[in-house]
A and B are shown apart, each in its own frame.
Chain A
């Protein structure tokens, strides 16, 4: 390996095609497995509904659009839960933080700020969202400090936190539902108005494609500079094509979902547009909460992979003592991780209360369990040190797909929860089995 010519990963003859593909593109096999499972669920439900009602109901723009919006709250929080679990902690309080923050936002929006800023002030939503994020961060930092500096197990701190903040939410609202919320704030929940439409969606897709190509090119140049092994050119091109295909395909799907007839008709009247025969077709495009998930996913992946903080989170999860001996301030990192989780729970609180256009003290109840399940199905190990953000996002999508699919099929609620439970245990079981297999090999 002393030659200065760039090294291209040599092809091993007689290697099976799939294995060769995986090695050349350096794609995580676990991710392929998860996407395969997701595809199986989607196609399975679609075929099932086809036989049940004569048309496939699952793989429709409408259902897929709804699916992404319904996943967003759990997905946002799952990106933070990954880091918590990687550090060998757990956070059982995220659902309660979500509920508490949403009631704080609701109360300030309806009964505090209008007196100071006026009823229709455009600043109300931004002030309340900021307040929510600060409250979420403060609660998370408090939990993290109790874990780090007093050494109370995270399980206990956040179990207590769950009871405390759920009760606090009740106390803030005095048990009432706070509605309606600020109009602009409600856009964070999605819906036809809370979506960005066709043009913006296509622009975003184009940006994503450019980003993918630039990213691959920059990565290749970096490897070339240090004379590291390169991916074969065909693998780079394949990755670029698949990435762009996914971005454009997803955009095509969300743009193929029109505004509901009534909303479109009202819009036409309000803007003096002559509605054509068969109603106005206005593309919904990406919903704002879905964009929030994408931003959260990208930011959290950046934090996990490219910052010192992220590196330390993983190192601490792998060997806390070694991290300490390397001079890492593990207590500070613990506080920060919980604070980030609090911020993400607050963001989810915004999404959910905006979607509901109301804040209630039971918002987000039991959601912590789905968040943890999403992270774990996505490959995060409870032993610590292992887990990816994209895995948790796919995990959240898997859980929501199962639930939505079962609703479409008209399954009992009781049965739905049972299935999700079985899938959680099954997924971790298969994963453990797989890991044992690779460790031995």
Chain B
């Protein structure tokens, strides 16, 4: 538990987000330490993607504060978030389908020549290096990503997230579209990134994935935090109980969404 004595890498305090009358996130607080994987669990519509999109700058929050390394962060758009070293791998991958891998890798932060034009050769060169590390079989650098397989597209999205010295990585259902071999590969990658001191939010509705990879779990229901617990202090059944019933077991710290009793 020595991680708890340090300053958290990310601390989101009392975050709320509403769409019209619907409270997608209701006074949620969550934290993340360096080299830690926090699994964020919940049903579809529990608010986990919305909470995390506040952190990645995709949604503006209605209230609440975000602290990065103990200092308040001002995140209003994806560019701000990237400035804090927060990178996101979205469930939809968020790739521009019609351009090639290198262009996607550098979308929004292109390498320019000294004349202010795009330096495609340099970008492709860098893309080849990073892809050689992630997916050595990747050869299709000239094709638009729409022509790639699911696993290849995933590796482009992951490459984009880790290439720019991310300190905080958000993975939204990273294995939903993958086969067993590719899922195992993503698992290996998460362990490697963790050992490099990167903090990872892993969003999933697959409880087995989360138990394999995460250090702590946080469960959400109806936009509220049910509770948070170190993985070793709770059982899968207890976590299922949190997801489905909102019942907080003794090993977990209850949140505002926990059902009394």
Question: Which of A316, A319, A325 contacts B78, CB < 8 Å?
Answer: A325
A316 to B121, CA, bound (A): 22
Known: A323-B107, A325-B58, A326-B78. A311 touches B121 (CB 8 A): no
The yes or no answer to A282 lying at the interface (CB within 8 A) is no
Tell me, in angstroms, the Cα distance from A326 to B78 when the chains sit together: 7
Query: B121 contacts A225, CB within 8 Å?
Result: yes
Q: Which residues of B contact A327 (CB under 8 A)?
A: 57, 77-79, 82, 108-109
The contact string, 1 if C-beta is below 8 Å from chain A, for chain B 66-91, is 00000000000111001000001010
Contact with A along B86-111 (1 / 0, CB 8 A): 00101011111111000100011110
For B96, give its contact among A307, A310, A323 (CB under 8 Å).
A323
A318 to B146, CA, bound (A): 9
With contact pairs A326-B78, A327-B77 given, residues A318 and B108 touching in the complex (Cβ less than 8 Å): no
Residues of the B chain whose Cβ atoms lie less than 8 Å from the Cβ of A385: 96-98
Contact residues in A for B77 (Cβ distance below 8 Å):
327
When C-beta atoms are compared, the residue in chain B nearest to A387 turns out to be: B98
Contact with A along B112-128 (1 / 0, CB 8 A): 10001110011011000
For residue B25, give the distance in angstroms from its CB to the closest CB of chain A: 18
- Which residues from A are CB-within-8-Å of B108? 326-328
8 Å CB contact of A321 from B94, B103, B109, B125: B94
- Among A228, A302, A322, A386, point to the contact of B107 (Cβ < 8 A): A322
Q: Please state if B103 and A311 are interface contacts (CB–CB under 8 Å).
A: yes
From known contacts A326-B107, A327-B78, A328-B108, infer whether A319 and B96 are also in contact, taking CB-CB under 8 Å.
Answer: yes
A318 CB contacts on chain B under 8 angstroms? 96-99, 144, 146
Q: Check A307 against B98 for contact (C-beta < 8 Å).
A: no
SS of A interface (majority): helix
Residues of B with C-beta under 8 A to A305: 118
CB-CB under 8 A from A307, the residues of chain B are: 116-118
Please encode chain A, from 304 to 333, with 1 for each CB lying within 8 Å of some chain B CB and 0 for all others: 011110110011111101111111100000
**Which B residue sits closest to A2, measured CB to CB?**
B132
Residue of B nearest to A319 (CB): B96
Q: A325-B90, A326-B94 are in contact. Are A311 and B125 (CB under 8 A)?
A: no
Which residues of B sit under 8 angstroms from A324, Cβ to Cβ? Answer: 58, 78
Q: Does A30 contact B (CB under 8 A)?
A: no
- With A and B bound together, what is the CA distance between A325 and B77 in angstroms? 8
A311 touches B95 (CB 8 A): no
Complex interface: chain A residues within 8 A of B96 (CB): 314-316, 318-319, 322-323, 326, 385
Instruction: Report chain A residues within 8 Å CB of B95.
Output: 319, 322
Q: Which residue of B lies closest to A226 (CB)?
A: B125
Q: Which residues of A contact B88 (CB under 8 A)?
A: 325
User: CB distance A306 to B124 under 8 Å?
Assistant: no
In this complex, the interface size class of chain A, counting residues with CB under 8 Å from chain B, is 20 to 34
- Counting chain B residues whose Cβ lies within 8 A of the other chain, the interface size class is 20 to 34
A222 within 8 A of B: yes
- Bound-state CA distance A305–B82 (Å) is 25
Cβ contact within 8 Å between B78 and A228: no
Interface centre among A225, A315, A385, A386 (most CB of B within 10 A): A315
Residues in chain A near residue B99, CB distance under 8 A? 311, 314-315, 318
Question: Which A residue sits closest to B116, measured CB to CB?
Answer: A307
Q: Which residues on the B side are within 8 Å of A314 (C-beta)?
A: 96, 98-99
CA distance A354 to B121 in the complex (A): 43
Q: Which B residues are CB-close (under 8 A) to A20?
A: none
Q: Which residue of B lies closest to A328 (CB)?
A: B108
B98 and A311 contacting across the interface, CB-CB below 8 Å: no
Nearest residue (CB) in A for B90 is: A325
User: Which residues of A sit under 8 angstroms from B56, Cβ to Cβ?
Assistant: 325
| Chain A residue contacts of B58, Cβ below 8 A | 324-325
Give B113's nearest chain A residue, CB to CB. Answer: A306
Which of B97, B103, B108 gathers most chain A CB within 10 Å? B108
Task: Name B103's closest neighbour in chain A (CB-CB).
Answer: A311
In the bound assembly, the distance between CA atoms of A385 and B98 in angstroms comes to: 6
Inter-chain CA distance A272–B66, complex, in Å, is: 84
> In the complex, A316 Cα to B96 Cα: how many Å?
7
Q: Which residues of A contact B116 (CB under 8 A)?
A: 307
A325 — which chain B residues lie within 8 A by C-beta?
A: 56, 58, 78, 88, 90, 94
B117 CB contacts on chain A under 8 angstroms: 302, 306-307
Alpha-carbon separation in the docked complex, A308 to B56 (Å): 23
Q: Establish whether residues A222 and B107, one from each chain, have CB atoms under 8 Å apart when the complex forms.
A: no
Give the residues in chain B near A228, CB-CB below 8 Å. Answer: 121, 124-125
A278 → chain B closest CB, angstroms: 52
Question: Which chain A residue has the least Cβ–Cβ distance from B108?
Answer: A326
Interface 0/1 of A11-54, CB less than 8 Å to B:
00000000000000000000000000000000000000000000
CB distance from B149 to the nearest CB of A (A): 14
Q: How far is the CB of A308 from chain B (nearest CB, A)?
A: 6
Residues of A within 8 A of B109 (CB): 327
User: Taking the complex as formed, is A223 at the interface, i.e. its CB lies under 8 A from any CB of chain B?
Assistant: yes
CA distance A302 to B115 in the complex (A): 13
Docked Cα-Cα span, A226 to B125, in Å, equals 6
Give B contacts to A, CB under 8 Å.
56-58, 77-79, 82, 88, 90, 92-99, 103, 107-110, 112, 116-118, 121-122, 124-125, 144, 146
Selected A-B contacts with CB under 8 Å, 19 pairs = A311-B110, A311-B118, A315-B96, A315-B98, A315-B103, A318-B97, A318-B146, A319-B98, A321-B94, A322-B94, A324-B78, A325-B88, A325-B90, A326-B108, A327-B78, A327-B79, A327-B108, A327-B109, A328-B107
Counting from the closest, the 7 A-B pairs by CB-CB distance are A318-B98, A385-B98, A327-B79, A326-B108, A315-B96, A322-B94, A318-B96
Supply 15 further A-B pairs (C-beta < 8 A) apart from A308-B110, A327-B82, A327-B108: A307-B117, A307-B118, A308-B118, A311-B118, A316-B96, A318-B99, A318-B144, A321-B92, A322-B92, A324-B78, A325-B90, A328-B107, A328-B108, A385-B96, A385-B97
